Chains A and B, each alone.
Chain A
């Protein structure tokens, strides 16, 4: 027995360098893609990677911010952990925005940064930056390795932490000497950490209490957050909704968890969400919030938010419960597990008449906003009609990424989703520059689908260099810039709340078509409505990347709108109402 054990142990152990141990650890975790950018302090890792290219794909982006947003896009479409590499100093600091974005949007990432050789730590060495210190507030966990023997264990721990419980980004900083040093390779995945409990066992009582409230409710409303997607609860959510007859509305990150054409799905919540769900939040008698965290863009003024309703909060992160909105019943759990158990306890029900109360709001929004957005009668093109037509032309089957601003809200409102994990957008951080690199990751993470990226003329220019990555990898990404020659969302606020004083929001843009062509990507500019649908068809017919610029109305606004800090049901459908 003992001899056998020893021999199997020996077979596992293998003399390698720290850098090789790192790559082999990634393979043990099933990593198939790395997004990254090399540099001095991470060269040993890149050198080791060179021997494993038959087993793992590396995408060279054109900026580390591109690498991390791509890793986010990859993680969000695939449900796997996104991985990226960067060098020390500026390479590492360039990751920070993406790490912060992944932290607030609960995206599982493991980022590896090279670090100066350990004797130089703390001496202001060339390209030394304290990335562990800097990333501390925006990582779920981080760690600096200076000893090669720690690598396998720390990588295993990093992956466990990134994907368990409420997912999030982890950063591992590895000094160059640890990458070079000899070590032995033996990998063991993590299953638990003494100080970390990623989930709690669900309390029976809270389930029973919740089921009772659900069964008694006359006007229940279910809020669907990204937790539904992260826990893979899409199917059980629908079973639950159909059994109980409860209407649903999604947060921005919860979009695509429910097919947009489902009769019980009433739209998006929040500042630019749909009229019905926002008003009904303050009309319902029960709010069943699943896998969401009552962000202020969703709640508006919390003092007036759903005060008439009882709140059931299903949420895996205990620190989110009772943080913004107090819960009558809290179920601290993974959304899927909670819904599965609740499904058994709730009665078949029908809330047709309550659901019908949404109709006048849907009709008013359609008449005052939606129709004008997607079937405009004015001359200028609208963002809404572009999004609507692209969505229809892709049969709602594409993966959509967006940047941040007006185009993001319009895309979120009008794309309409068929498949889960098909809406990739920066929610909590609102990071301009996210959309294009996220599309890179989305295309790599789900090569079977077309990826359409809706970008503003401002945000596109923040990470425009990733056009080169798209070309080099020949990705099926359709880049659509909705050009209003403004930092549109800021301009909208200036118009509505700052007396139309357009302080630094007007942009004189370069020739985007020439630029795209310079990158070797076919491009088309559309200025007239008559050219739009042909251009869209042409774009979708083309294999691989394509660039479409649409000149839209310069000073259109996104409505409905709940001004920041206002009561969520005080929805404005236009500038004057």
Chain B
């Protein structure tokens, strides 16, 4: 079985419990979720789940159609990494003392295109966006200088195709509903 990283995008109604309904689909198949982000999509009232998993494409395909079976799921797409532009945000907290005691940290911030969000007398918060490997690399570089806290967000992703797949889908759904209403 050839495992590969996939980004799953599920568009859903914004209702209580749906997160649970979706994650148990992964649990049932013993698939580990590497990253999960849920937020409102461009269309008001519709949530977007972005889920990163490593598995065989065939299993992902079957999973996605089963996710779509849920009444409150509008559509579930999956993409290989080369089909999406994706990003994660990482925050690093270092002591302001170590920031000021030399230019190591400052150099790293420049080199990694990171930025400083906040400096207080006690600590400094650095932010970097990028792929996981990049934010991880910065963490490893900063760590010898004392990282007090480190946190990384889930992935957000956007497809490389030039139309928003969901609006296309919603239009098609409307057309299909009209055909069905007509037939019934």
Contact = CB atoms under 8 A, between A and B. Distances in A.
Interface stretch (A33-41, A197-205, A209-217, A382-390): A197-205
A319 B69 contact: yes
Which residue of A195, A322, A323 has the most chain B CB atoms within 10 A of its CB atom?
A195
A141 interface: yes
Interface string A306-348: 0000000000011100110000000000000000000000000
Contact of A195 (B17, B24, B65, B72): B72
Interface stretch (A80-88, A131-139, A272-280, A466-474): A131-139
A245 B70 CA distance: 38
A194 B68 contact: no
A195 B71 contact: yes
Interface string B164-183: 00000000010011011101
Contacts of A318: 65, 68-69
B17 A132 contact: yes
B28 A137 contact: yes
Contact of A136 (B17, B69, B73, B180): B17
A137 B23 CA distance: 10
A140 interface: yes
A145 to B, nearest CB: 11
Contacts of A133: 17, 20
A319 B17 contact: no
Interface residues of A, number: 24
Contact of B71 (A132, A140, A200): A140
A1 interface: no
A193 B17 contact: no
A319 B66 contact: yes
B177 A192 contact: yes
B12 interface: yes
A201 B176 CA distance: 7
Nearest to A324: B62
A196 interface: yes
Contacts of B12: 195
Interface majority SS on B: helix, strand, loop or mixed? helix
Contacts of A319: 62, 65-66, 68-69
Nearest to A142: B17
Given A133-B17, A133-B20, A319-B66, A193 B71 contact: yes
Contacts of A132: 17
Interface residues of B, number: 25
B176 A200 contact: yes
A141 B70 CA distance: 7
A317 B176 contact: no
A323 B62 contact: yes
A442 interface: no
Interface string B89-121: 000000000000000000000000000000000
A194 B24 CA distance: 23
A195 B66 contact: no
Nearest to A160: B71
Contacts of A200: 176
A195 B13 contact: yes
Nearest to B46: A195
Contacts of B180: 197, 199, 201
A297 B86 CA distance: 43
A136 B21 contact: yes
B74 interface: yes
Contact of A197 (B16, B72, B176): B176
A161 interface: yes
Interface in A136-174: 136-137, 140-142, 144, 161
A191 B21 CA distance: 24
Nearest to B11: A195
A200 B176 CA distance: 7
Contacts of A323: 62
Contacts of A191: 181
Contacts of A194: 13, 74, 173
Contacts of B173: 194, 197
B177 A195 contact: no
Nearest to B176: A201
B69 A317 contact: yes
Contacts of B74: 194-195
Contacts of B20: 133, 136
Contacts of A201: 176, 179-180, 183
A133 B24 CA distance: 11
A191 B177 CA distance: 10
A482 to B, nearest CB: 35
B176 A196 contact: no
A322 B68 CA distance: 15
Nearest to B173: A197
A340 B83 CA distance: 41
Nearest to B183: A201
A244 B180 CA distance: 29
Contacts of A144: 16
B24 A137 contact: yes
A396 B183 CA distance: 37
A194 B71 CA distance: 9
Given A136-B20, A317-B69, 11 more contacts: A137-B28, A142-B17, A192-B177, A193-B71, A194-B74, A194-B173, A195-B74, A197-B180, A319-B66, A322-B62, A323-B62
User: Which 6 pairs across A and B sit closest by C-beta, in order of nearness?
Assistant: A319-B65, A141-B71, A195-B74, A196-B71, A319-B66, A201-B179
11 contacts: A133-B20, A136-B20, A144-B16, A195-B13, A195-B73, A195-B74, A196-B72, A197-B173, A319-B68, A319-B69, A322-B62
